[in-house]
Amino acid sequence: VGWRARDDAGRAAVRVAVAAVAAANRVTGRVLPVDPSRLAARVASFLGGVERVVGNRRCLATCLGLSAAGWTALVAAFWLSMRAVGHPVSVGLAAFVLPVGLLAVAVPLPGGVGGVEAALVGLLVGAGGLPVGGATAGVVLYRVATYWAPMAVGGVVTAALAAESRRRDGPGRGPPEPPNIP
């Protein structure tokens, strides 16, 4: 039913976003105004992408399967991290705590750094009865394994590729700058 009303939902989302930004601007004076037509175009593009995925059963099944595999791998890494520090949790608790804790990425920090860790520790202590120290050790190990280490590797690879590009193309040459999209 909701998908049939996607155009109405898209227009409503634009109206709500524009109103929220205007309200935030009135309170803080720091929020840039939103161009409703640009936002509507982005929402329409997003909904078009969703429609392409949902309209192709094979693509939808592939996306859902890969998403489930990704979440399973993250829960397994979390569960193994807790076992590795000597504070094992049930798979069910790990499967509950992890997605709820990852909602903390909404905290306006790069990668949710700090907010995610605090939320995960709080959930492990509150819902799992773990000691704060054990929960913290497991969460730090999990975040290093699934966020910090991959981020560091990606940074090194990006720097190496950029250096190779500069060496090959010469200074000041190379790919064009990406467009400035607010």
Q: Is the pLDDT of residue 1 over 70?
A: no
- How many CA within 13 A on the CB side of residue 2? 5
Q: Tell me the per-residue pLDDT of 36-77, one tens digit each, with 9 for 90 and over.
A: 888 889 888 888 888 888 888 898 899 899 999 999 999 999
Q: Is the pLDDT of residue 121 over 50?
A: yes
Show the DSSP H helices in the chain as ranges.
6-28, 36-55, 57-84, 91-102, 115-128, 132-143, 149-169
Q: Tell me the per-residue pLDDT of 126-161, one tens digit each, with 9 for 90 and over.
A: 999 999 999 999 999 999 999 999 999 999 999 999
DSSP 110: G
pLDDT band at 90 (very low <50, low <70, confident <90, very high): very high
pLDDT at 18: 87
pLDDT at 88: 96
DSSP 180: -
